[in-house]
Structure 1
Amino acid sequence: MIDVNSPPPCDDSDLRAAMEHFFFAYQAFTARPDAILERRGLARVHHRVLFFIAREPGLSVKGLLAKLGVSKQALNTPLRQLIEMGLVDAVADAADKRMKRLYLSAEGARLEATLYREQARLLEGALARAGLDAAGGWLAFNHALSPRDDGDGA
């Protein structure tokens, strides 16, 4: 296990251990939501769409494309499925009717909240086991690993 108080790992075995733990952590983080989604015929891509719309109601399709870093073609099918299933509402923008604003329907909000609770419970448990002091380092690590600026000033 990597000592969080020591310098970042530099040798291959430490990096491989970090990758292994990251892989299994991500697997644990997504397992329950994936099972919930699968029962509805949905996948992880649908979860990402629901997550970002919940985080930013009224997000434009263009804004969602930018958040996800995918092409229109890649987003078209999952977004259309979510709209057809009544989980997402696409509303024409008041100022520009060509622009669609995305909102979760009541059912979509319930599903997203269920997925959120599963992952929040896992994170809360891990932070409790690691110690609350680990949260700042974990957030800094993930922010440094992410190629995106989330715009929240963190």
Structure 2
Amino acid sequence: MAGFFHAYQAFTAGADRMLAERGLARVHHRILFFVAYQPGLSVGALLALLGVSKQALNLPLRQLTQAGLIEATPAMHDRRVKSLQLTDSGRALEAALCTEQQRLLGVAAASMGEDDARRWQAFNRALAGAREN
């Protein structure tokens, strides 16, 4: 468990520093990540992906909107539904955060053989699947 904890700390440290420089935190990164990879995502769908309450999402989503990183527009199919997308600034920040984490994953993967890297990927898929059960 300690190894997993320290690996996660290393994985998030660079992104956390970049976020802190903007007065943001890891919760903001999670929101940016999901909106980046699912443009037009509704607030309800984001709530389900994050597994949080509307109350827990309200403040960080509002902060990202006020910072000009996310915009919410009425969905075409139902104007009562808010459709979320990143602004240009939001896309740039999310790309920088992802680039830092991908760099770290690349360093770690380069230190492993291909078979070990495949097993590590399989382990992560199994771990993510266990969460859903």
The question of a shared fold, defined as TM-score above 0.5 by the shorter chain, is answered with yes
Please list, as runs of the form range in 1=range in 2, the aligned pairs for 1:39-118 lying within 5 A after superposition.
39-118=21-100
Are residues 1:35 and 2:17 paired?
A: yes
Structure 1's unaligned 5+ residue stretches are: 1-18, 150-154
Q: Give the count of matched residue pairs.
A: 131
Structure 1 counterpart SS, 2:71: strand
After superposition, the C-alpha distances for 1:81-115 in whole angstroms (9 at most, x for unaligned) are 00011000101001100101110000000000000
After superposition, the C-alpha distances for 1:118-154 in whole angstroms (9 at most, x for unaligned) are 00000011111012222321122112222138xxxxx
Q: Determine the structure 1 residue equivalent to 2:5.
A: 23
Distance in 1, Cα, partners of 2:117 & 2:74: 40
Please list, as runs of the form range in 1=range in 2, the aligned pairs for 1:123-142 lying within 5 A after superposition.
123-142=105-124
RMSD between superposed Cα atoms in Å = 1.2
Q: Determine the structure 1 residue equivalent to 2:132.
A: 148
After superposition, the C-alpha distances for 1:24-71 in whole angstroms (9 at most, x for unaligned) are 100000001000000100000000000011111111111111110111
Distance in 2, Cα, partners of 1:110 & 1:148: 31
Structure 2's unaligned 5+ residue stretches are: none
AA in 1 matched with 2:92: R
Larger Rg: 1
Distance in 2, Cα, partners of 1:51 & 1:148: 19
Identity of aligned residues (%): 58
Distance in 2, Cα, partners of 1:131 & 1:91: 46
